[in-house]
């Protein structure tokens, strides 16, 4: 009987430790982001801008983003905050999606711009083969867990 109690308590502690590690590791390994002046200057060069909102149908208390997103043909700049998490990617999509199911339906038509490793603002270079004019919206997606984080439409 005693071994069952130990198995349950140790198993619970192990599961809690793994969950805590998955949440904290991205925060602990987050690289230092660009300074606010550089973010502002990059955003000022943008052709399009929009806002991330926490109120999207696919966002929740663990998966959200807020702030402004600005796009130029060569860079995408985010000034704001994202919920910390592992393996975030920024995609350009042909239409605005607000849930995981909607994004999965058009993921094959979307362009992955790059990895998002910073949660308090970032600047991503747009690869030369991607034309921002071919898309209308931006999605932040957790590739590791297949979770929708946030999205914004930058042009109609």
Average pLDDT, rounded, for the chain: 91
Residues 25 and 54 both lie in one domain: no
List the single range of 33-42, 118-127, 144-153 with lowest mean pLDDT.
33-42
Residue 28: pLDDT over 60: no
Q: Tell whether the model's pLDDT for residue 6 goes beyond 90.
A: no
* 26/42 same-domain check: no
Evaluate if residue 75 carries a pLDDT over 60. Answer: yes
Tell me, yes or no, whether 121 and 53 share the same domain. Answer: yes
Asked whether residue 136 falls in the same domain as residue 59, the answer is yes
Burial annotation 51-77 (CB, 10 A radius, 16+ → b, else e): ebeeebebbeeebbbbbbbbbbeebbb
Query: Which range marks the domain in which residue 6 is found?
Result: 1-30
- What average pLDDT does this structure show over 19-48? 78
For the chain, what is the domain count? 2
26 has a pLDDT exceeding 90: no
Check the CA dihedral 36-47-153-110 and report its sign.
negative
Percent of the chain beyond pLDDT 90?
A: 72
Q: What is the arithmetic mean of pLDDT over 127-150?
A: 97
Mean pLDDT value of segment 79-105 = 96
* CA distance linking residue 42 with residue 150, whole number of Å: 21
Question: Are both 26 and 91 inside the same structural domain?
Answer: no
Measure Cα distances from 61 to 16, 57, 64, 149 in Å.
19, 12, 7, 10
What is the pLDDT confidence band of residue 36, given thresholds at 50, 70 and 90?
confident
25: phi then psi, degrees, rounded to nearest 5: -55, -45
Q: Do 40 and 92 fall within a single domain?
A: yes
Cβ atoms of 111 and 124 closer than 8 Å: no
Residue 84 phi, psi dihedral angles, 5° rounding: -65, 145
Q: How confident is the model at residue 34 (pLDDT cuts 50, 70, 90)?
A: confident
């Amino acid at each position: 009987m005693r071994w069952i109690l130990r198995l349950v308590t140790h198993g619970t502690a192990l599961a809690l430790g793994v969950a805590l590690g998955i949440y904290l590791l991205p925060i602990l390994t987050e690289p230092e982001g660009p300074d606010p002046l550089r973010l502002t200057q990059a955003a000022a060069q943008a052709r399009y801008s929009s806002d991330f909102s926490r109120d999207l149908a696919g966002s929740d208390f663990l998966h959200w983003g807020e702030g402004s997103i600005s796009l130029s043909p060569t860079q995408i700049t985010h000034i704001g905050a994202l919920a910390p998490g592992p393996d975030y990617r920024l995609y350009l999509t042909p239409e605005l999606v607000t849930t995981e199911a909607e994004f999965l339906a058009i993921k094959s038509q979307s362009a992955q711009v790059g990895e998002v490793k910073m949660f308090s603002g970032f600047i991503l270079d747009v690869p030369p083969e991607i034309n921002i004019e071919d898309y209308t919206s931006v999605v932040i997606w957790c590739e590791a867990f297949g979770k929708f984080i946030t999205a914004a439409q930058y042009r109609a």
